[in-house]
A and B are shown apart, each in its own frame.
Chain A
Amino acid sequence: MSAVTTLDPAINLDTGYNFAYLDERTKRMIRRAILKAVAIPGYQVPFGSREMPLPYGWGTGGIQVTASIIGRHDVLKVIDQGADDTVNAVNIRRFFQRTTGVVTTERTVEATLIQTRHRIPETPLQENQIIVYQVPIPEPLAKLEPREAETKKMHGLSEYGLMHVKLYEDIAKFGYIATTYDYPVMVDDRYLMAPSPIPKFDNPKMNMNPALQLFGAGREKRIYAIPPYTKVESLAFDDHPFEVQRWQQHCALCGAKESFLDEVITDDQGGRMFLCSDTDFCQERRGEVASTAALVERPLSGSV
């Protein structure tokens, strides 16, 4: 049994809306912004973000980017913190099923288009894939310099000393760089970029990734991109090199040592377990270890 499900358009397709919900003129505006974003890697292109049928902060930027690029032949995967079955992922997936009728999947390897909130899948992405990130704060300097006129100048002049000072202050205070997510990166040696609140564990995956990476911030009205095979470097110092999180534990379900683990509290007696944050990765591994039954047991969220 495959994890791919096709929605019956006769029953579920919402014909009251244009394909992928947005009107054509909005899509064209966003498409032109995406092309400029790809041509200027890491630069935040302003765009006319629309009001969407869910509030800002729920992935409206990512949804608008996805809606502007998705086609009938795409296979869509949506994840929220690595999981396909959390509320944000389920809702966004259903939104695109109803407005486009595309095939959806939970398997990273089957997807052509992946919309994500705050994780990059553990399974390496491929050349034919596009990953769309939902971004709350696109401006990496926002917490250090609230005036947008100033941050624009800093980007224009590639003047990023402020961010180095911030990381240095971490070292002075804690002895190490304490930033663990939304860890700033330099794209193609030119633009400082917020990778969205992915754990810094995922930062190395952005570098020279074969897939196209697009970022949409709905409330802040910005789109930016990292083309495939582009240098993405996490900021660091020579004597304090960039490091990712490591765990003492293995995943309690699949035994993975190298994946990003979530800590789950199991009772009020201090019981806890560590699980893969990437549910698809975890299931695939368990499928390998035992049988494919693990995949079949799981209800397919595509059949909502």
Chain B
Amino acid sequence: MSTINIDHVDAGFSDTTQASQQVFRLGLHVFARPGTLVEVPSDAVAPKGIGAAANALLLALLDQDVSLYLAPQRSAAATYYRFHTGCTLASIPSEADFVFVGIEDEMPSVETLKMGTEYAPDESATMVREVSLIEVGVGMTLTGPGIQTETRLMVPELDTAFAQTRSEIASLLPRGVDIFLTCANQLCGLPRSTRIGV
């Protein structure tokens, strides 16, 4: 394995213990309440093309027990997460525990990701999807656990093709993929249990 020149690796959290707890807690909040938007404080210097919220979430959840998929051109980010978390890197999205997709990255088709089995649906991928805008109160309707009646969410990158694929894999529940949506320092959750209507 090639050695990492740490002069070229940006800083992670200054206080890993407290920062990880805060970021996880926000991640837990948005997964438990899909369609809620929170702002993630983070003092880590995110790799280029990765927003502060997505970066903080990856730093908080990754370690040597899990694998991460990044688009091939994100080699600096790959070094950054290898160095700070010790995670392994997956060469294809279908083998990864965590999949990061940036705004300009090609979105891997959700049904190709790890979805677990009927007996172990938890052995599935978590996607962190950076998007250009997250707007709450307009757009597709969300219902299901964590939502009192219904809520609305508008994300330009999650188009009708995505909604179509998502409703197809919804028939495979409890197998599925859980998604964190991030936009700069904003974070929003879209776990598999959320039902999406147009």
What is A's interface to B at a CB cutoff of 8 Å? 18-19, 24-25, 27-29, 31-41, 43, 45-46, 68-72, 152-153, 155-157, 188, 190-191, 208, 210, 212, 225-231
A-contacting residues, B164-183, CB 8 Å: 173-174, 176, 178
Which residue in A24, A35, A37, A155 is a CB contact (below 8 Å) of B126? Answer: A35
Q: Are B21 and A38 in contact (CB under 8 A)?
A: no
Q: Are B24 and A69 in contact (CB under 8 A)?
A: yes
Which residue in A32, A39, A157 is a CB contact (below 8 Å) of B193? Answer: A39
Q: Are B21 and A39 in contact (CB under 8 A)?
A: no
Stretch at the interface among B37-45, B101-109, B142-150, B154-162: B142-150
Q: Are A45 and B122 in contact (CB under 8 A)?
A: yes
Output the residue of A36, A37, A43, A156 with the most chain B CB within 10 A.
A36
- Cβ of B79 within 8 Å of any chain A Cβ, yes or no, is no
Using known A-B contacts A40-B193, A229-B148, determine if residue A28 contacts B61 with beta carbons closer than 8 Å.
yes
Helix, strand, loop or mixed for chain B's interface?
Answer: loop
Q: Are A40 and B126 in contact (CB under 8 A)?
A: no
Q: Are B28 and A41 in contact (CB under 8 A)?
A: no
Q: Are B31 and A39 in contact (CB under 8 A)?
A: yes
- Cβ of B17 within 8 Å of any chain A Cβ, yes or no, is yes
Chain A residues near B61 (CB-CB < 8 A):
28, 31-32, 35
Q: Are A227 and B146 in contact (CB under 8 A)?
A: yes
Helix, strand, loop or mixed for chain A's interface?
Answer: mixed
Using known A-B contacts A19-B17, A34-B28, A43-B122, determine if residue A229 contacts B145 with beta carbons closer than 8 Å.
yes
A-contacting residues, B10-31, CB 8 Å: 16-18, 20-22, 24-25, 27-28, 31
A-contacting residues, B99-156, CB 8 Å: 117-122, 124, 126, 144-148
Docked Cα-Cα span, A18 to B15, in Å, equals: 12
Using known A-B contacts A71-B22, A152-B119, determine if residue A43 contacts B174 with beta carbons closer than 8 Å.
yes
Name the CB-closest residue of A to B34: A227
- Cβ of B7 within 8 Å of any chain A Cβ, yes or no, is no
Q: Are A35 and B148 in contact (CB under 8 A)?
A: no
How distant is A63 from chain B, measured CB to nearest CB, in Å? 16
Chain A residues near B20 (CB-CB < 8 A):
24, 27-28
Which residue in B24, B33, B64, B174 is a CB contact (below 8 Å) of A190? Answer: B174
Docked Cα-Cα span, A191 to B60, in Å, equals: 29
Docked Cα-Cα span, A72 to B62, in Å, equals: 22
Q: Are A71 and B21 in contact (CB under 8 A)?
A: yes
Output the residue of A39, A155, A231 with the most chain B CB within 10 A.
A39
- A-B residue pairs in contact (CB < 8 Å), sample of 18: A24-B17, A25-B65, A27-B20, A28-B62, A29-B65, A35-B27, A35-B178, A36-B178, A38-B31, A39-B178, A39-B193, A43-B174, A69-B25, A157-B118, A190-B174, A227-B33, A229-B146, A230-B146
Using known A-B contacts A29-B65, A230-B145, determine if residue A35 contacts B119 with beta carbons closer than 8 Å.
no
Chain A residues near B192 (CB-CB < 8 A):
39-40
Docked Cα-Cα span, A208 to B178, in Å, equals: 22
Chain A to chain B: the 8 pairs with minimum beta-carbon distance, closest first: A39-B191, A156-B118, A227-B146, A230-B145, A36-B122, A227-B145, A156-B119, A39-B178
How distant is B21 from chain A, measured CB to nearest CB, in Å? 5
Chain B residues near A156 (CB-CB < 8 A):
117-119
- Cβ of B9 within 8 Å of any chain A Cβ, yes or no, is no
How distant is A59 from chain B, measured CB to nearest CB, in Å? 20
- Cβ of B32 within 8 Å of any chain A Cβ, yes or no, is yes
Name the CB-closest residue of A to B124: A36
Which residue in B17, B66, B119, B147 is a CB contact (below 8 Å) of A32? Answer: B66
- Cβ of B63 within 8 Å of any chain A Cβ, yes or no, is yes
Name the CB-closest residue of B to A156: B118
Docked Cα-Cα span, A71 to B122, in Å, equals: 25
